[in-house]
Chain A
Amino acid sequence: MTGDDDSDETLVARAGRGDRSAASRLIARHSPKVLALCGRILFDRAGAEDAAQETFLKLWENAGRWRPRGARLETWLYRVATNACLDRLRKRKREAPEKDAHEQIDRAPSAVEKLAADQRRGAVEAALAALPERQRIAMTLCHYQELTNIEAAAAMEISVDAVESLLARARRSLKQSLLSRRDELMEGVG
């Protein structure tokens, strides 16, 4: 951020008054991270784009009356995006519970057939996809979106202790699934 006029608060207020350029700047600033978060939770580009669009639509709807109340806009966006993704995951499970389970299991064997880097990437993505939803969200927010545990707790609407517990369990699961194959996965890493 370069100055007061460029702050999220100012841009949101301007967007709330219908300023298109302010909306455009908010999109440029926050949409890549929101989309990345949705992608890591849903593992599906179309679904992630829909969830991210829903998040921004909520922002436009609330822009006129949005107040920071101590939280950063980014944290608010992550909270809305996380909820949008969770809704989609629940809907997905309701509609095709077995298909979803198979998708997660099928990823690993297909990745084994690929080259070293692809194999590593595939294994990591499969391990992340296999995590329970809330562990994956906590991991994504803290590891990939680089939120602090406090910010992640605000985004997930849970306590900091709960976030720490989710992170610890997620890392334990990831270690079990990935580090048992460390020689295979770290091959070619300088």
Chain B
Amino acid sequence: MTNPEQDPDDALLDELLKSARFIIADEGFTTRLLASFDAHQSRRARLSWTLFADAFGWRALAQPLASAGFLAGLCAAGFVAGAASGPDDGETYAELAAAIDQSFDLNGEDQSWAEE
């Protein structure tokens, strides 16, 4: 810039230029800027997740994985329902015990083999 001391017209011009107003940043404006930072951060967080998912091909696999998940859920529900409606362990044991001849002495049989 020209040195105002060299030319009185320049000094006068500088004096006049001082009178021009400028826009003052009020609190509302700084709040708006901070809100833009917050919005950018949340956008970035969403984008990071998307990039991560894309890197592992998760988004491409989303549809087949959803179908497989649905089938797996259906199987699990069937298993739970079947387990809940079947006979309990005590009942099954009683049926098996009744089917076996209880009079047969296993110890006596062992001894008879030893004598031979």
Contact = CB atoms under 8 A, between A and B. Distances in A.
A39 B23 contact: yes
B24 A32 contact: yes
Majority-rule SS of B interface residues: helix
A79 interface: no
Given A32-B25, A48-B23, A171-B2, A60 B37 contact: yes
Interface stretch (B5-13, B56-64, B107-115): B5-13
A31 B25 contact: yes
B25 A121 contact: no
Contacts of A185: 16
A171 B14 CA distance: 10
A189 B15 contact: yes
A150 interface: no
Contact of A144 (B12, B22, B38, B44): B22
A175 B21 contact: no
Given A35-B25, A182-B12, A40 B36 contact: no
Contacts of A189: 15
A179 interface: yes
Contacts of A179: 9, 12-13
B85 interface: no
A171 B22 CA distance: 19
Interface string B4-46: 0000011011111101111111000110111011101100100
B9 A27 contact: no
Contacts of B1: 142-143, 149, 167
A45 interface: yes
Interface of A: 15, 18, 20, 23-24, 27-28, 31-32, 35-36, 38-40, 45, 48-49, 52-53, 56-57, 60-61, 117, 120-121, 123-125, 128, 142-144, 149, 167-168, 171, 174-175, 178-179, 182, 185-186, 189
Given A20-B38, A23-B37, A186-B15, 4 more contacts: A31-B30, A39-B22, A179-B12, A186-B12
